[in-house]
Amino acid sequence: MINKGDVVRTGPVTWEIPKTYRKDMRVPVRIFADERLLNAALKDKSLTQAVNASTLPGLVSHVTVMPDVHQGYGFPIGGVAATSYPEGVISPGAIGYDINCGVRLLASQIAYEEAEPYLDDLALQLDENCPSGVGVKGSVRLSVDDLEDVCRNGSNWALNNGYAWEDDIPSTEEHGRIRNADPRDVSPRAMERGRSQLGTLGGGNHFIEVDLVEKIFDHEAAEAMNLSEGYLVLQIHCGSRGFGHQICSDYVRDLQSAVRKYKIQLPDRELVCAPLNSPEGEAYLSAMSCAANYAFANRQVLVSHARRAFEQTFAGKVANYELTQVYDIAHNMGKIEDHQIEGKQVRVCVHRKGATRAFGPGFSELPEKYRHLGQPVLVPGSMGTASWVLLGTEGSMLQSFGSTCHGAGRTMSRKKAKKSIRGDQLRKQLMKKGIRIHAGSMAGLAEEAPHAYKDVDAVVNVVTQAGIAKKVARLRPVAVIKG
């Protein structure tokens, strides 16, 4: 385990584990945290995992650790690492099992006071329209050809099949489609798991949440996003379901032989990897892109279901119940990007696991309304606290490969959380705070207790103080749907 004495303070909210800490480190580890969040990170193996990650071949500059970091599979959740392209490696464990787990935010023109009498019904309609739970099947039935189309086209498949509005696509990261996806690189088992789960939420920390815009910090950005204080918004947090999990499982297993073939030395077999320009690395990148496109389409279908729930609840009761998309962003992804490294433009594969892309102003792929502001960043907290809308900054481009935090980050395992409180007790506590709860199981609800997470406001204060994000709005939950 790493001790606090091993970590060097480099600024008010920045720290470093130097490359000299261990002989096999190729780059240092840069940490964004205040004193309290650093102490929390030292209690699990997340920083040791970051040091292990610093041994991956082809790394450039440093491994980044976000303030919401916690221990993951091989690579810490809340970690960012960039490897040179195409000779560096790609590691499935540094991207995660829930490929393109991400968040989509939609804005409404419904004032809380206007909606409050109908929020119980809205929560019920969302729960009934949006299937949730581990292994649950959705209403969309895909043939093999359909699923291959989803793999290649992502959100564009959803648009072509009536699940999206035209304006949704440009307000989605990569316009909802990673281009190098080839379903031939996906196993039959993964394809079978993916056929029945499109348009489903899943379980664990995934959720649909109705929020109140509690406070605006950047009025120009909020106006561009159609966010207004006192009005409702909707968040959807989920990923590629069993499809992406199976793809990660397949390649974690298959790439063990690639590590031996290319004579790669690793301190942890969970960091299994392959060179990006090898047949094995290219196949994983393609399969990962299929899962990413599936996740974009999955969230888009859920948006369609959520819009139907809003219509069923508010038609004839409010003047305008439409939900307009603010943005959709991934926080488990490997992306080929160009970054300035030591004054030079370098093409790299950025691994973000529990970290959000946060590109600054001027990024050409952003919708015109956001281009001069920076990319919207969505940071959900726990269901009893708050969530944040942020903007990417030039500082994130210079310090963290255009990345920032992705949420609050766990401080307690799911097993420990279940022992700390009963689900029915938690539900009563949240209801007293005015938060309507629909959960598939009380045990699953207890796993996601707010006290099992870090203080999301503290996390956001660190990234804004460090200059790798900028505050736009704070959101407060009023209804939560969980599997």
Is 121 in contact with 313 (CB distance < 8 Å)? yes
What are the C-alpha distances in Å from 217 to residues 229, 297, 356, 472?
10, 31, 20, 5
CA distance 351 to 248: 14
Distance of CA 289 to the CA centre of its chain: 15
CB 194 within 8 A of CB 140: no
Q: Which amino acid is at 272?
A: V
Class of residue 403 by CB neighbours under 10 A (exposed 0-12, middle 13-18, buried 19+): buried
Residues 6+ apart with CB under 8 A from 61: 27, 82, 341, 342, 401
Q: What phi, psi does 314 have (nearest 5°)?
A: -110, -10
Q: How far apart are the C-alpha atoms of 62 and 14, rounded to whole Å?
A: 13
Query: H helices then E strands: how many in the chain?
Result: 16, 19
User: What would the two tokens of residue 476 be?
Assistant: 């407060």
Quick count: other Cβ atoms within 10 Å of Cβ 471?
18
- The three-state secondary structure class of 181 is coil
For residue 453, give the DSSP letter: B
Identify the active-site residue in 206, 245, 351, 406: 406
CB 208 within 8 A of CB 306: yes
Question: How far apart, in whole angstroms, are the C-alpha atoms of residue 93 and residue 196?
Answer: 25
CA 453 to chain centre: 16
> Is there a catalytic annotation at residue 237?
no
- At 261, list the tokens: 């073939």
- By C-alpha distance, which of 310, 302, 329, 438 is closest to 387? 329
Contact 227, 107 (CB under 8 A): yes
Residues in the chain, how many? Answer: 483
- Alpha carbons within 13 angstroms on the beta-carbon side of residue 325 total 25
* Catalytic residue list: 406
